Amino acid sequence: MELLSRAVESVLRGNNAICFNSSTPSHLQFTMTAVAMETQEDKGLDQLQRENESPIESTQNINSLPSLDEVEGILGYKFNNKRLLEEAFTHASLGECFSNERLEYVGDSVLNLLFTKEQYFEYPDLWPGALTRLRAANVNTEKLARVAVKHGLHRYLRHKKPLLEEQIRQFSREIERYPLHSNGLIDVPKALADLVESTIGAVFIDSNSSIDIVWKVFKVLLEPIIRRETLKTHPVTQLYEVCQKRNLKVKFVDLWKESTSFDVLIDDQLVGRGACRLKKEIAHNRAAKDALDNIWRILDQRDNSIPEETNSLT
């Protein structure tokens, strides 16, 4: 445990260049490398965030964007009112007299209703609490942003949001590490999730409020849908559950002001750390995930040492 604490602390205080020796356990090499890579990644994101908050306008050329008719091909749906389609793909930053915010509001409600209905019949044995968690996993910001990227809907979004394209590229790279869902470990461009919701709202209004038509259009696009067997527990929740079962004390140390990071102490020993310069919540989640990755090895070592200690007393 002390070796782990020193190793993690060393890489967090030092540069991204890491030197190992033959005595460094492989699992510590992995943790130290991951922390360094995460730090480097966040430095790039931090720079991106600062630039994104500057008054520089987006370099997106609205006139050169592909036709929204192509969106109808992606959706497999022909709009009766093309104005709804245009509204769904117009971000407020464009400065027009309309934006996709109202349709986003509609789409959010419709999407929640659709998953409520589908899961009610698909899982007749699940209680409301479990159904709520399952629905939330399928309608949250990351899940919907993945849908936008997967089907290329982001290419048609009209905006003047600085450097959104670079944020999307960064997000597209990050989700490759987490095929289904990261559970709060990566930064998500909210504009992508809003786009999917506004598109759902547009189809709902255009189809005379038919939830059946909306589900027919979007059921395939929303795949892979997170189901009971693929639903993962949030790392913070899982960490508390693991430690509670083993009567271990968990403490998160907020170092946000000092280093935009969190430490995780278990029984007063440093077990994990997570950092994210853009969002405090992500740093918190990453710390929990890092602690989970390490706690299993620690518990295995502790469990394996018990028989040896018992034998030495006999």
Give residue-wise pLDDT tens across range 209-238: 999 999 999 999 999 999 999 999 999 999
Confidence grade of residue 65 (pLDDT, cut at 50, 70, 90): confident
pTM for the model: 0.75
Kindly list the distances between the CA atom of residue 206 and the CA atoms of 92, 118, 152, 165, in Å, as whole numbers in the listed order: 21, 22, 22, 29
* Burial state string for 290-301 with b = 16 or more CB within 10 A and e = fewer than 16: bbbbbbeebeee
DSSP states of 161-178 as a string? -TTHHHHHHHHHHHGGGS
pLDDT at 299: 76
Q: Which amino acid is at 228?
A: R
Residue 291 has pLDDT above 90, yes or no: yes
Q: Which amino acid is at 207?
A: S
- In terms of Cβ atoms closer than 10 Å to its own Cβ (0-12, 13-18, 19+), residue 141 is middle
Select from 83, 135, 89, 78 the least CA-distant residue to 112: 135
Say how far apart CA 19 and CA 40 lie, in whole Å.
16
* Identity of the highest mean pLDDT range in 63-67, 100-104, 263-267: 100-104
Is the distance from CB of 104 to CB of 91 less than 8 angstroms?
A: no
Residue 297 has pLDDT above 60, yes or no: yes
pLDDT at 12: 44
- Across the chain, mean pLDDT equals 83
pLDDT at 278: 85
pLDDT at 243: 93
**Which domains does the chain possess?**
68-222 (1.10.1520.10), 235-303 (3.30.160.20)
Confidence grade of residue 8 (pLDDT, cut at 50, 70, 90): very low
